Amino acid sequence: MAKIVAIGSNKGGARKSTTAVRLAEALARSGRDVIVGDGDPQANATRRLAVDPGTGPTINDVVYDARPGAAAHALYPCGWDAPWAKHIRVLPGEADFENRTDEAPRVGAHRRLAKALKGVGGADTIILLDSPPGLGHITQLTLAASRWALGTTEPEHDSVKGALVYKAFVEDSAEDLGAPDLTWLGVIISGYDQRVAGHRGQVAGCRELFGSQLWSPHVPRRSVLTDADEYARPLGATTQDREVLGAYQLHATHLLEAVS
């Protein structure tokens, strides 16, 4: 069965979608099949992967359906013009996914995405589930469907706090989510600028807070990454692109080792 990883934080702007998209890019460049499930109603990961489902099914539809394997019929190819992009498929998000929060009181509602993903992807497929900020029902859907959880943060106090809260929730709530094997993998720092004293201080603090679960290297703050997200394209061939892509490739390798 596929290896499913939730990516989240308790704070918005922690680069969850960027991490999901760029990890998918790094995995695909190495020939690994990857599915990005866009669990954030903002659907940023969907757009950045150049996918427009139009009137077709989305993650909202498959969670509403909740039949085993329903997600297999709502996967779209990545729209990037690159030969390795064929390895990326997208379970797109949409704004109406927010409506699924109304179902939270129903028995077993938090397991509906897990059911929809049952049997989707091969044994070597990595499924990355982008989560909205917070610990509400939609985040619980992504965690209940996952075997592993990865946190993201910027090197700023409030963002680091958001990662800590997410980590504690993962560790404390796995049993309640019906995912007793759910394992916290660690946290990735993005948007790091070594010239900023506050960034250096937060990185030092993260080493104390997360220990060996702080992944290295920290993804640098670079305009090429912002531009790639903004214009829904893969990272290119400039020196700055290669620097950022290299960081994500190392994280992708770490991820494969951690879930193997």
pLDDT, average across residues 150-179: 97
| Rounded-to-integer distance, Cα 224 and Cα 55, Å | 32
Residue 240 has pLDDT above 90, yes or no: no
| Rounded-to-integer distance, Cα 121 and Cα 128, Å | 12
Residue 216 has pLDDT above 90, yes or no: yes
Residue 246 has pLDDT above 90, yes or no: yes
Confidence of residue 43 (pLDDT cuts 50, 70, 90): very high
Going by the DSSP 8-state scheme, the letter that residue 180 receives in this structure is T
- Identify any residues that bridge with 3 across adjacent strands, giving them in sequence order: 126
Residue 239 pLDDT: 83
pLDDT, average across residues 132-145: 97
pLDDT, average across residues 99-116: 93
Neighbours of 230 (CB within 10 A): 11
Residue 28 pLDDT: 98
Predicted TM-score (pTM) of the model is 0.97
**How do the domains of the chain map onto residue ranges?**
3-259
Residue 236 pLDDT: 86
Confidence of residue 71 (pLDDT cuts 50, 70, 90): very high
Residue 237 has pLDDT above 80, yes or no: no
Residue 126 pLDDT: 98
Q: Provide the strand spans (E) within 13-118.
A: 34-38, 76-77, 88-91
For 149, how many CA atoms within 13 A lie in the half-sphere containing its CB? Answer: 31
Confidence of residue 238 (pLDDT cuts 50, 70, 90): confident
Residue with tokens 């080493």: 207
Closest Cα to residue 59, out of 1, 145, 125? 145
* Cα Rg, the chain, nearest whole Å: 17
Residue 183 has pLDDT above 80, yes or no: yes
Residue 14 has pLDDT above 90, yes or no: yes
Q: Which CATH architecture has domain 3-259?
A: 3-Layer(aba) Sandwich (3.40)
Q: Alpha helix (H) ranges present in 120-196?
A: 137-144, 157-173
